[in-house]
Structure 1
Amino acid sequence: MRRGRLSLAGQAFVLQLVVLAMMIGMGTALAVLDARHDNDVATELQVRDVAITVANAPSTLAAVHSQYPTALLQPTTERIRTETSMDFIVVMAPNRTRYTHTNPDMIGKAFGGNIDRALAGETFTETFTGTLGPSIRAVTPVFDSGRVVALVSAGVTRARIGSQVASQVPLILAVSSAGLVLAALSSFVISRRLRRQTHGLAPDELRALYEHHDAVLHSVHEGLVVFGPNPGPAEVVNDQARALLDLPDGPITRADLPPSMRRMAPGVVRDETHVTTDRVLLVNQDLVRFEGKPIGTVLTVRDQTELRDVLGELDSVRKFAESLRAQAHESANKLHTVVTMVELGKPEEAVAFATAELQLSQVLIDRLLATVGDAALAALLLGKVDQAAERGVSLSISDDTVLDSTAPLTAQETVTLVGNLVDNAIDAAANTREKRVEVSVNHCDDHLRVRVADSGPGMSADLFARAAERGYTTKTDHAGLGLALVHRLVGRHCGIITTTPAPDSAVVVEIPLRENP
């Protein structure tokens, strides 16, 4: 709720107006002072030139030596004074007696002011208060054969100079006012743009919004990466995103994301699973728009590693249950057959039928329990045999499947590794004519070696690499995470995984053994 406070744009506008008004006011005052200074300088040059011109005129020297200097000089100096806009031109004797003056009553009286420097032969200017008031005047000597025989003083009063400056003030004020209006308009335009960008919020509201925004970004348990509309570093990367995606400190670009996320479609993405070396991630991508314009892309990342592990265990249990159901159904059929054969009076054939089926199952169970020291792996393989049989696929356990334990893998990791490889093999073989799968698990030299072969066409190196990045699959009805999870597990144990295409399609995993400390 707004409480009558000025927005950031409003405060900026007022501050700009105050600063601009002060600067333009100072500029106006400086312009007036500069105009006055320029007029003073120009006046000093003008009065100096007029005084020298009058002093150097031959008629001035002739008039000074005549019997009546005033009669000759007064008309001439008054004409020159009028033409040159001087306030006075005074020709005087060396003893200060005036020959001419603007006010005829002053003629014959002593000249006020400094004349010593002029008597010494120097031309100078000064500001002095005389009979006409404060003025800028120049005093220069009149020479005759190197001797000073008279002095000439020309001057302009301060009142005239002030009126000249005053005539320039309206223009200065007009220019200053125009500048202030233009500055105010530009400040208004800037404040409107700033208001749109800040949504009219006050500074404390912006600060609170930033603090809340920053706190939320760093406290949410989902990874968040926000890219702007143009290529470049991400504008927002929270702590959880750096942890989940293993991102370095500093600016982040799309090139720093995991390989599969770099090639994501630019549009909206919903619940897409990506597998990194350490994690299974659920990624969503949204395009953010404001007022109809795209302003960025938001990536949200959730960690589903533990959930996928639990789902893997549940999937294994489900498959075990399905296998038991299939066995129960098959056993019921066989029991019904045996009972019927007895009822038909063929007990010997019934015993032979039941014993043969039991012997085949028991042989496989006995061999696995004797050669495979891990109960979970033995149970998984037995379950997969029945599961494959339901789909018409022959799954065999190779004779070299011998191992005391599945170290360095845990029972859960073993089920994930072997179970996913066998499931993919059964899916591939189910659509072939031979319909066969062969599994081999053993310790070879210093590695745990798992080999699953099938009669399917296999995968090219490119497809196999793509399957390693995330949940890629060539099957339309499958999540496609099996091989990605296998690659993640193998990578975590510093192992290697290879594949060979048809006619001998197989996936081989080798994981180095770790010595116990």
Structure 2
Amino acid sequence: MVTITGRRRTLASQLLVLQLAIIVVVLVAVAAVSLAQSAATFDRVESRRVAALGEQLAVHPLLRDRLGRPAPAEAVAPLLQTVLTQAGVTTVTVADARGQVVSSTDPTLIGSPVVFGDPAVARGRSWVGELDVNGSRELVAQVPVLGDRAGNLGRYLGAVIIGEAAPTWSERLVGASSYLIGYLGLASALGVVGSWLLARRIKRQTLGLEPREIAGLAEHREALLHGIAEGVIALDPQLRVTLVNEVGRRLLDLPTHCLGRSLADLGVEGRLRDVLAGAGGDPDSRDDVVVRRGKVLVMNRMTVTKDGRRLGSVTTLRDRTELARLEREIGSFRSTTELLRAQAHEFANQLHTISGLIQIGEHDEVVRYVDALSRHRASLDLTVTSRIHDTAVAALLMAKSAQAAERRVELRVSERTGLDRLDPEASADVATVLGNLVDNALEAVTAPVGDAAGWVEVELRQDTSSVEIAVRDCGPGVAPELAQEVFAHGFTTKAARGGERGIGLALTRLVCKRRGGEIAVTNTDEGAMFTARMSITTPAAVA
């Protein structure tokens, strides 16, 4: 089925039609007000004029003299016609004391009774108002005629009635049509020019898009924002939220009504605010790691500019918490692989030494060399296993010891160390924290070729409700300005030295917080010391 639709009007034509419609409505309103004002002006001005004409005629000597005599019409008719001609009124009428018309410029009224607008006219009071005269509406002035001679001085002789027909609405509209047409032409011209200029300005601001195209883009944008799995948040130059999708709001833990509010109003501070605001020096950052309320977020920020003007920024967010957990598990396998490689390398060197001694016939030396290796291994095993009764943690320390030896670093176990067996979940968390801290310490103290070997010391202390892990090293320490930020920012010890960013310490802090503890770093005279505390309950079955 083919649907045929008419050509849609452009923005300019729509604005023009709207402007013209507004102009017509305004002109109709102005015409109505003008006609109403014209009627009010006519009533006010003409009322005074007809009243003045009636009073002048009522005191005319001829009218006073003839009105009290028989057949006054022949004498006063010329006088009435003169007033009609000179004043330009519609009718001039004279009634006697009985209220009968005795003379009028309208012959049809002669002999008919007069309808007074106010009965007080017969008692000597004037009246001005509108009346129906022969089917037409007239503005009428009714003025009493009083006697001025002895015998009838002050006596009511009759009344003078001056009438002027009010112009109809059509007549008033025709009279005002000249300036109304001028107003309509001027307003139409202004409307056309104004709508054209307004359309051009709107076109520039909307990049040449028509309203239907803008609506389509808005619909597509909403569909894209709420259809992607990543979080998106847009900020203006004043760091106010202008756009955020549901995923971004959830990852950043923002309230439902957050649009238009600044980051400060939303309680976004620290590392997260620096990344969103581009405060790290690079406005377009890539793969920044931020820890936000237990979530590991990877953020990419891009600044939005147009014609050299900064409009704000758009940042995408990905939840890497689960991925970080998987990376941690893979890291444990990698550590095991490195341990096996290190041990294979160590055993290969020892076997080469033994083989060489046998080849040169130093059989007694072979025995002494093997005994020395056995005593060293037994001593290390005894040191670890006598103080650490949890097999998983002890095995981890043995593995880290071999890894440290390959890096020419001495791994020490403090004499104050003591750890009982733990339940599997607690043992895994302790091993995770200990492994991350030892790895960071090894990175900090690994000696270059030719330099003296470094050392790392591990101390584990346990009471009835918690485990404390302290890892010291002889490295360069942590810069004071990073000591309070290193965990929130996700830096590792290596990152603290070289500026690279990681999530090892951030994950360590997450594990500690999940266990109701905390982790901190301090600088000692010899290097850095990381101290982690976790709430751990020893199983009742373990002695």
Pair in the same fold by TM > 0.5: yes
Q: Higher mean Cα deviation, 282-291 or 84-93? A: 84-93
Change (3 A) 1:185 1:413: farther
CA distance in 2 between counterparts of 1:161 and 1:85 reads 20
Instruction: Write the mapping of 1:474-489 to structure 2, written as runs, cut at 5 A.
Output: 474-476=496-498, 478-489=500-511
CA distance in 2 between counterparts of 1:226 and 1:89 reads 84
CA distance in 1 between counterparts of 2:445 and 2:168 reads 114
Task: Give the match's secondary structure for 1:356.
Answer: helix
1:154 aligns with 2:162: yes
Letter in 1 for 2:437: L
Q: 1:146-172 CA distances to partner (integer Å, 9 max, x unpaired)?
A: 212243222323569975663233224
1:260 aligns with 2:271: yes
1:137 aligns with 2:140: yes
Q: Higher mean Cα deviation, 324-333 or 109-118? A: 109-118
CA distance in 2 between counterparts of 1:47 and 1:142 reads 15
Task: Give the match's secondary structure for 2:299.
Answer: strand
CA distance in 2 between counterparts of 1:305 and 1:53 reads 106
Aligned partner of 2:521 in structure 1 is 499
1:317 aligns with 2:326: no
Task: Give the match's secondary structure for 1:97.
Answer: strand
Tell me which of 306, 310, 315 is aligned to 1:299: 315
CA distance in 2 between counterparts of 1:403 and 1:345 reads 47
CA distance in 2 between counterparts of 1:496 and 1:408 reads 21
Preserved CA contact (<8 Å) 2:422 2:539:
no
Deviation at 1:503, TM superposition (A): 1.0
Change (3 A) 1:175 1:59: farther
RMSD of equivalent CA atoms: 4.0
Aligned partner of 1:50 in structure 2 is 53
Letter in 2 for 1:123: S
CA distance in 1 between counterparts of 2:539 and 2:361 reads 62
Deviation at 1:261, TM superposition (A): 0.9
Task: Give the match's secondary structure for 1:340.
Answer: helix
Deviation at 1:129, TM superposition (A): 3.9
Q: 1:317-351 CA distances to partner (integer Å, 9 max, x unpaired)?
A: 33332333233223222322222222222111122
TM-score (norm 2): 0.78
CA distance in 2 between counterparts of 1:91 and 1:276 reads 102
Deviation at 1:289, TM superposition (A): 4.4
CA distance in 2 between counterparts of 1:184 and 1:375 reads 89
CA distance in 1 between counterparts of 2:88 and 2:319 reads 94
Deviation at 1:93, TM superposition (A): 4.7
Q: Higher mean Cα deviation, 337-346 or 234-243? A: 234-243
- Structure 1 unaligned regions, length at least 5: none
CA distance in 2 between counterparts of 1:363 and 1:441 reads 19
Deviation at 1:111, TM superposition (A): 6.1
Aligned partner of 2:210 in structure 1 is 200
Q: 1:409-464 CA distances to partner (integer Å, 9 max, x unpaired)?
A: 54543343112211222233346967221011231342111111112343366422
Q: Higher mean Cα deviation, 172-181 or 244-253? A: 172-181
Preserved CA contact (<8 Å) 2:58 2:143:
yes
Aligned pair count reads: 508
Tell me which of 418, 429, 438 is aligned to 2:445: 429
Letter in 2 for 1:455: C
Aligned partner of 1:510 in structure 2 is 533
Letter in 2 for 1:221: A
Name which structure has the greater RCO, CA cutoff 8 Å, separation 6+. 1
Preserved CA contact (<8 Å) 1:280 1:304:
yes
Tell me which of 108, 115, 127 is aligned to 2:131: 127
Q: 1:9-32 CA distances to partner (integer Å, 9 max, x unpaired)?
A: 866765665465345435534533
- Structure 2 unaligned regions, length at least 5: 148-152
Percent of aligned positions that are identical: 26
1:451 aligns with 2:474: no
Tell me which of 346, 358, 365 is aligned to 1:342: 358
Q: 1:447-482 CA distances to partner (integer Å, 9 max, x unpaired)?
A: 111111112343366422110212233222743433
CA distance in 1 between counterparts of 2:484 and 2:314 reads 27
CA distance in 2 between counterparts of 1:155 and 1:410 reads 112
Q: 1:168-197 CA distances to partner (integer Å, 9 max, x unpaired)?
A: 332244335545655666666666666655
Aligned partner of 2:253 in structure 1 is 246
